[in-house]
Every structure is written in C-alpha cells, then in structure tokens.
Amino acid sequence: MSLYGKVALVTGGAQGIGRAVVQSLLLSSAKVAVVDLNKTCGEECKTQLDTEFGEGHCTFIQCDVSHGDALRDAFQSTVDQFGRLDIVINNAGINNEKNWEKTIQVNLTSVIKGTYLALEHMSKEYGKEGGTIINVSSMAAFMHSPHQPVYTATKHGVIGFTRAMADASSQGDYGVRINVLCPAFVDTPLLHSVEQEDNMGKFVKFKDDFKLRMDKFGVLPPSLIAEGMMRLIMDTSLNGAVMKITCSKGIHFHSYEPMSA
C-alpha cells in the first residue's frame, strides 16, 4: 500500500531505529519530518535522503522533545511545510540512569506530549481527518533487568498510556489508531551506551550481565523494527496493539487477559 499524499513526523528520526523508519516511510511515498535533537546527524540524514529520494520529500527539524514548546513548534512546522499530518512516531528515547529525571522526561513525558499534539492535528475531536500514532516502548517492559530500572519504568509507562489512549480514541471516536512497539535489543548507538558510566551510573557494574543477555537473545537490525512499524501503520484493524519484535519470535503481538473485576 502506498502512503502517497500522507505526511509523517518521526521523533529521534536522525539515527538508529527512527532513521530506518524514515527510510521506509519515504520508500512508501510519504512526506516525512525528521524531528531530532542532534543537528549534525539530522542535517547529514536529510542530505542523504534528498540525494536518494529527491528534494522536498523530507525535512529536518531540530528539536529537543523534552521541551514542550519546541515540540509543539515542530508539529506546527511540519503542518506548515507539508499541509497536513497523518502519521506520528514517538520514537526518541535515551538510556540514562544517572540523570534519570531526564530519562523520564524524554522517554515518557515527551511520548505523552507527542501523543496529545498528534491528536490536536489529527483527531476528529479537533475537526481533523484521523491518522495513526505509534509509541516506542521496549521488551524491557516485559523482561526487566537490574541495569535499567528507570528506563524500564518509562517503557512500562509508555505501554499503559498507549493502551488507555487507544481505548479513549475508539470510545471517543477520534479516528486515530494508537499502537505501541516493543523491540528487543537493536543494533543502534543507544545499545552501546550501557557500557558507559556516564549513562548507567552505579548500574554500570551490571554491564557484563547485560552483554550476556544480548548474546543470549541476539541483536536485531533496525530494518526489522521499521518493517514492524510499517505493519502497524498499514493495518487499519490495529488499535491498542502491543507489537513485540524479538530474535526468537520475530514480529508478533502481546496478548492480555480480558479485564475483570
């Protein structure tokens, strides 16, 4: 299915998982706003994408997603440049147990803010045409470890928030599908931060155990996460879905017990 005429915004889109998703969106003919803190990486990314896809298909917007006004401006700038918004990927994330308050701001608060801003631009509640939102969590929300207590907490939060918002969307007739994606270990720069004391603080002493887990469970290519993301975007039956991507089971979904008193 083509995404011709659709406009996407990807936070943390300049490298890693976000970069792979941007590539897939452009291959499907969507227009894409790459929203990222890293100016050098973002500008390099745009130059490469302009060469591959031609100018005018993507834009780079430098923005720290944890600054609420800056994130609001990034959404507005996307709509000003491309005329509409249909797909929002709240992907930007960090791994910092030392500055754990920042980890909560980037990994959870900004995902909530990004979801609310996406709804302002896409929900029928606001007179818009509908769309789809994907929030990025992690398998860390299902298999906790001692290395990343606050990172793990934020990723639990992303799942709970997304599932509740998906219900709000269906019951409130927002016309917006809201799903969550949980990758296991993925080969990106973030993965290497677990070896650094600056990121892990006192938990850095568990790094060997973390590496053993990576050896045991394997490391995924970012392209597979992009494939899962495209499935969530294209499959219009999905709302409130929790997609997991692991080496052992590939792309699959978590199933929950029905709610009971």
Ligand X SMILES: CCCCC[C@H](O)/C=C/C=C\C=C\C=C\[C@@H](O)[C@@H](O)CCCC(=O)O
Ligand Y SMILES: NC(=O)c1ccc[n+]([C@@H]2O[C@H](COP(=O)([O-])OP(=O)(O)OC[C@H]3O[C@@H](n4cnc5c(N)ncnc54)[C@H](O)[C@@H]3O)[C@@H](O)[C@H]2O)c1
Q: Which residues are catalytic?
A: 151
Per-position b or e across 2-32, b if 16+ CB within 10 A of its CB: ebeebbbbbbbbbbbbbbbbbbbbbebebbb
What phi, psi does 142 have (nearest 5°)? -110, -30
Q: List binders of ligand X among 122-141 (CB under 6 A).
A: 138-140
Query: Contact, 45 vs 110, CB < 8 A?
Result: no
Which one, 13 or 240, has the nearer CB to ligand Y? 13
Distance (Å) of CA 24 to CA 17, 111, 183, 186, 238: 11, 21, 17, 17, 19
Which one, 192 or 205, has the nearer CB to ligand Y? 192
Q: Which of 95, 96, 107, 239 binds ligand X (CB under 6 A)?
A: 95
- Determine if 6 is a binding residue for ligand X (CB under 6 A): no
- Determine if 37 is a binding residue for ligand Y (CB under 6 A): yes
Q: How far is the CB of 12 from ligand Y (least distance, A)?
A: 3
- Residue 119 binding partner per list ligand X, ligand Y, none, with a CB distance cut-off of 5 to 8 Å that depends on partner kind: none
Number of residues that bind ligand X (CB under 6 A): 17
- d(CA 116, CA 195) in angstroms, rounded, equals 34
- Determine if 190 is a binding residue for ligand Y (CB under 6 A): yes
Q: How far is the CB of 214 from ligand X (least distance, A)?
A: 8
